[in-house]
Structure 1
Amino acid sequence: MVSNMTGSFQLMKSLNRSLVLNIIRTEGAISRTETAKKAGLTPPTVSTIVSELLEEGLIREGQTGVSSGGRKPILLSINHNSRYVIGVDVGTEEVRAALTNLNADVLAVKKKQLVPGMNEEEFLSIVIGLVQSMLEEKAADGAHVIGIGVGMHGIVDHTKGESIYAPHFGFQNMPIKVPLEEAFQLPVHVENDVRSMALAELWFGGGRNSEDLLVINVGHGIGAGCIVNGRIYRGRHHIAGEIGHMIVDLNGRQCTCGGYGCLHTVASGIRIRERVIQEITLGRKTAVLDEVDGEKERIDGETVHRAAMKGDYYAQEVLAEVGRFLGVGITNLIHALNPDKIIIGGGVSKAGDYIFKPLQKVVGTRAVTDAAKKTEIELSKLGDTAAIRGAATLVLSELYDYQKQER
Structure 2
Amino acid sequence: MTKKVIKVINLEYLRRGNKALIKDLNRALVLYQLRREGPLSRMEIAKQTKLSPSTLSKITEELKEKAMIKEIGEGQSNGGRKPVYLEFNYNFGYVIGIKIEVKRLIIALTNLKAEAIDRIELPFNYGASADEVIDLIIEGVTKITEKNKFNDRRWLGVGIGVSGLVNKKRGELIYSSLLGWSRVPFREILQKKFSVPIYIDNDVNVYTLAELEYGYGRDLNNFILVISGVGIGAGFVFNKQIYRGEFGGAGEVGHMVIYPNGNNCCCGRRGCLEAHAGEK
TM-score after normalising by structure 2: 0.91
Q: CA deviation at 1:142?
A: 5.2
Higher helix residue share: 1
Q: Please tell me whether the aligned partners of residues 243 and 250 of structure 2 are also in contact (alpha carbons under 8 angstroms).
A: yes
Amino acid at match of 1:193: D
Q: Is 1:205 aligned to residue 215 of structure 2?
A: yes
For 1:17 and 1:179, the matched residues in 2 are separated by 32
For 1:122 and 1:196, the matched residues in 2 are separated by 23
For 1:31 and 1:15, the matched residues in 2 are separated by 20
Q: Please tell me whether the aligned partners of residues 162 and 202 of structure 2 are also in contact (alpha carbons under 8 angstroms).
A: yes
Q: Is 1:110 aligned to residue 111 of structure 2?
A: no
Q: Please tell me whether the aligned partners of residues 106 and 121 of structure 2 are also in contact (alpha carbons under 8 angstroms).
A: yes
Matched residue, 1:62:
72
Matched residue, 2:47:
37
Matched residue, 2:267:
257
Amino acid at match of 1:264: E
Matched residue, 2:155:
145
What do the CA deviations read for 1:78-130 (whole angstroms, capped 9, x no partner)? 12122111111111111111110110111110111123343332221111111
For 2:207 and 2:214, the matched residues in 1 are separated by 10
For 1:217 and 1:226, the matched residues in 2 are separated by 12
Amino acid at match of 2:140: L
Amino acid at match of 2:235: G
User: Which residue, 97, 102, 109 being the options, matches 1:99?
Assistant: 109
Aligned CA distance change for structure 1 residues 88 and 237 (closer, same or farther; 3 Å): same
Aligned CA distance change for structure 1 residues 4 and 181 (closer, same or farther; 3 Å): farther
User: Which residue, 186, 189, 192 being the options, matches 1:179?
Assistant: 189
Matched residue, 1:4:
14
Q: Please tell me whether the aligned partners of residues 254 and 260 of structure 1 are also in contact (alpha carbons under 8 angstroms).
A: yes
For 2:197 and 2:22, the matched residues in 1 are separated by 21
What do the CA deviations read for 1:209-234 (whole angstroms, capped 9, x no partner)? 11112111101000011111111111
Indicate the SS of the match to 1:227: strand
Amino acid at match of 2:102: T
What do the CA deviations read for 1:348-372 (whole angstroms, capped 9, x no partner)? xxxxxxxxxxxxxxxxxxxxxxxxx
For 1:4 and 1:204, the matched residues in 2 are separated by 38
For structure 2, the 5+ residue unaligned runs are 1-9
Instruction: Single out whichever of 56-65 and 100-109 deviates more from structure 2.
Output: 56-65
Q: CA deviation at 1:60?
A: 0.8
Q: Please tell me whether the aligned partners of residues 92 and 153 of structure 1 are also in contact (alpha carbons under 8 angstroms).
A: no
Alignment of 1:195-344 (within 5 A): 195-270=205-280
For 1:255 and 1:206, the matched residues in 2 are separated by 32
CA RMSD of aligned residues (A): 1.6
Q: CA deviation at 1:140?
A: 5.6
Matched residue, 1:25:
35
Taking only the aligned residue pairs, the percentage that are identical comes to 38
Matched residue, 1:293:
none
Aligned pairs, number: 270
TM-score after normalising by structure 1: 0.63
Greater relative contact order (Cα < 8 A, sep 6+): 1
For 1:140 and 1:77, the matched residues in 2 are separated by 21
Amino acid at match of 1:145: W
Q: Please tell me whether the aligned partners of residues 53 and 59 of structure 1 are also in contact (alpha carbons under 8 angstroms).
A: yes
User: Which residue, 153, 156, 177 being the options, matches 2:166?
Assistant: 156
Higher strand residue share: 2
For 1:188 and 1:198, the matched residues in 2 are separated by 19
Amino acid at match of 1:158: K
